[in-house]
Amino acid sequence: MDLEQRFIEDDKEIIVSLECIYKLEKYSDCIAGDLLSCVERMTNEIIDDCSLGLVIKDKKEPLFFELEFSNLNESRVSLYNFYLISSDDYLDLLLDNNIIKFKE
């Protein structure tokens, strides 16, 4: 009996801009690593330019971020900027269902 793949997952490549990398240097290695790990694992479908919210739990308190993405083509998405935002701004993104989602 031959085995064959039944489902092909269409993953897009996520490109992180140099501006984001320079901004990440301002944060601890742990925060920067968590942010990039979350972006790598996200399941959101990016069709147009959009902003998505993300919470990273720091030792002291949670940090709220807004990440800006752009769809470059059928196979590439760019993370071109991110900001540290207030919890109120994050809640606005959450209410609009504009948060980074992960596989369950």
The range of the structural domain enclosing residue 49 comes to: 13-95
Q: What is the CATH number of the domain that holds 38?
A: 3.30.2310
Q: What is the pLDDT of residues 2-60, one digit of tens each?
A: 444 444 345 678 899 999 999 999 988 889 999 999 998 999 988 889 999 999 988 88
Indicate whether 44 belongs to any domain: yes
Q: What Å distances lie between residue 26 and 56, 68, 69, CA to CA?
A: 15, 18, 20
Quote the pTM value.
0.83
Q: Does pLDDT of 61 surpass 80?
A: yes
Q: What is the pLDDT of residues 62-90, one digit of tens each?
A: 999 999 999 988 888 999 999 999 999 99
Indicate whether 5 belongs to any domain: no
> 104, 97, 89, 103: which is closest to 50 by C-alpha?
97
pLDDT of residue 104: 62
Could you give the number of structural domains in the chain?
A: 1
What is the token pair recorded at 62? Answer: 């949670």
